[in-house]
């Protein structure tokens, strides 16, 4: 018996998405770092990406990198969030490369790398307008110069991250700025910059547009592989699967009920206002999953299934035409927000299948 609720992850479709993107980007001179964080570093997912030809794996959590290594995933590992300074020893032990923006942290990585007698590679992230992580361009030369001098530290390259916090779109202009910064570093410091990591799934429209890619030779992709969509407008990417992942939840109540609540209406469990319109009686179904496990806004049911509300442990749907039987399984597609929450809920199982 399969457990419910669960995520079903079709690894053939994941492989196809990753392989297709790797091929298209390689033709543009861009390698792909496969980002595993949304799956909490699942070894099945990671191995599918490696078979598809990603050049390395990236994760924002050192714990996920450790669990992939523990499961014998063989790959270069990149920590794509700035390390906590208190994690420096773990970072040099388990990650080959880390993304950094604070010289204090890089100094500590150097201390720990000396203790561990290993080389740790550092990629410096630059702020280009989205106002999440990144060194201000004016401060870059100083940080590059110090980084290159630190014992047991090698400068891997530079990168940027757009779209995630403010929705700033990667485009010809900010990507050209990144290339100019690379050239500027090389002429000012005589260091050579090998890896230029231009961004995430939000960069695909730019990267595949035919525009000059300049010095950018790497992207870090998670969501586009998982969900088959670009992330600026969430449009499907040509020839990718948008249904590689399905959420399955189970019916625990199924009744014909009024559509309009009765009584004085105040706040709901999550502060929203309850329904006020009367649509007569409806076929109302409760599924055993809730806001603790998913983002109800990010679920898409099959035709005839409408999501009407949710509380911590209940998802309320309406079905047209048919009453859903108790114990029945109902399937949904998920957006990134719903997927993240489902992956991190201990109440939702994972089923990786071929």
Which residues are catalytically annotated? 37
Q: Check if the beta carbon of residue 91 is closer than 8 Å to that of residue 64.
A: no
Partnered with residue 264 across adjacent β-strands are: none
**Closest CB 34 distance from ligand PLP, rounded Å:** 9
Pick between residue 56 and residue 254 the one whose CB is nearest to ligand PLP. Answer: 56
221 scored as a contact of ligand PLP (CB under 6 A): yes
35 scored as a contact of ligand PLP (CB under 6 A): yes
200 scored as a contact of ligand PLP (CB under 6 A): yes
**Closest CB 92 distance from ligand PLP, rounded Å:** 19
Cβ neighbours, 10 Å, residue 341: 18
- Contacts for 222 with CB less than 8 Å, ≥ 6 apart: 34, 35, 36, 37, 38, 200, 201
**Closest CB 197 distance from ligand PLP, rounded Å:** 8
**Out of 101, 201, 284, 333, which residue is the one contacting ligand PLP (CB under 6 A)?**
201
98 scored as a contact of ligand PLP (CB under 6 A): no
**Out of 222, 290, 301, 309, which residue is the one contacting ligand PLP (CB under 6 A)?**
222
**Closest CB 203 distance from ligand PLP, rounded Å:** 8
**Closest CB 175 distance from ligand PLP, rounded Å:** 15
Instruction: Phi first, then psi: give them for residue 118, nearest 5 degrees.
Output: -135, 170
18 scored as a contact of ligand PLP (CB under 6 A): no
Angle (nearest 5°) at CA 266 between 261 and 268: 80
Task: Write the Ramachandran bin of 210: left for phi over 0, alpha for psi from -120 to 50, otherwise beta.
Answer: left
Return the range that interacts with ligand PLP (CB under 6 A); candidates 65-73, 168-176, 221-229, 345-353: 221-229
Choose among 274, 209, 200, 271: nearest CA to 238: 209
**Out of 112, 223, 230, 318, which residue is the one contacting ligand PLP (CB under 6 A)?**
223
**Out of 78, 101, 174, 231, which residue is the one contacting ligand PLP (CB under 6 A)?**
231
Count Cβ neighbours within 10 Å for each residue of 130-163 and write b for 16 or more, e otherwise. Answer: bebbbbeeeebeebbeebeebebbebbbbbbbbb
Q: Check if the beta carbon of residue 200 is closer than 8 Å to that of residue 220.
A: yes
Return the range that interacts with ligand PLP (CB under 6 A); candidates 103-111, 218-226, 269-277, 342-350: 218-226
- Sites of contact with ligand PLP (CB under 6 A): 35, 37, 60, 80-81, 161, 200-201, 220-224, 231
């Amino acid at each position: 018996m399969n457990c419910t609720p669960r995520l079903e992850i079709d690894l053939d479709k994941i492989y196809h998405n990753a392989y297709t993107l790797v091929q298209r980007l390689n033709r543009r001179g861009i390698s792909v770092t496969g980002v595993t964080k949304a799956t909490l570093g699942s070894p099945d997912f990671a191995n599918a990406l490696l078979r598809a030809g990603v050049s390395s794996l990236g994760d924002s959590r050192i714990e996920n990198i450790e669990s992939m290594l523990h499961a014998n995933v063989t790959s270069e590992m990149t920590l794509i969030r700035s390390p906590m300074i208190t994690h420096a020893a773990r970072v040099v032990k388990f990650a080959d490369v880390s993304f950094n923006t604070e010289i204090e942290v890089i100094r500590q990585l150097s201390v720990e790398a000396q203790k561990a007698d290993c080389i740790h590679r550092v990629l410096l992230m630059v702020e280009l307008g989205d106002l999440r992580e990144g060194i201000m361009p004016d401060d870059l030369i100083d940080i590059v110069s110090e980084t290159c001098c630190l014992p047991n530290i090698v400068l891997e390259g530079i990168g940027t991250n757009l779209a995630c916090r403010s929705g700033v779109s990667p485009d010809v202009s900010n990507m050209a700025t990144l290339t100019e910064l690379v050239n500027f570093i090389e002429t000012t410091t005589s260091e050579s910059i090998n890896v230029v990591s231009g961004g995430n799934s939000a960069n695909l429209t730019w990267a595949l547009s035919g525009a000059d890619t300049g010095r950018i030779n790497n992207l870090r992709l998670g969501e586009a592989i998982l969900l088959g969509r670009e992330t600026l407008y969430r449009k499907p990417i040509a020839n990718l699967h948008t249904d590689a992942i399905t959420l399955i939840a189970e019916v625990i109540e199924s009744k014909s009920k009024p559509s309009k609540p009765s009584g004085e209406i105040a706040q709901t469990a999550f502060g929203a206002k309850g329904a006020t319109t009367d649509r007569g009686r409806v076929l109302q179904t409760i599924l055993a999953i809730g806001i603790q496990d998913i983002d109800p806004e990010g679920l898409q049911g099959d035709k005839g299934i409408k999501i009407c509300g949710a509380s911590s442990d209940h998802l309320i749907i309406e079905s047209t035409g048919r009453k859903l039987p108790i114990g029945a399984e109902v399937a949904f597609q998920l957006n990134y927000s719903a997927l993240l929450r489902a992956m991190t809920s201990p109440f939702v199982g994972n089923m990786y299948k071929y």
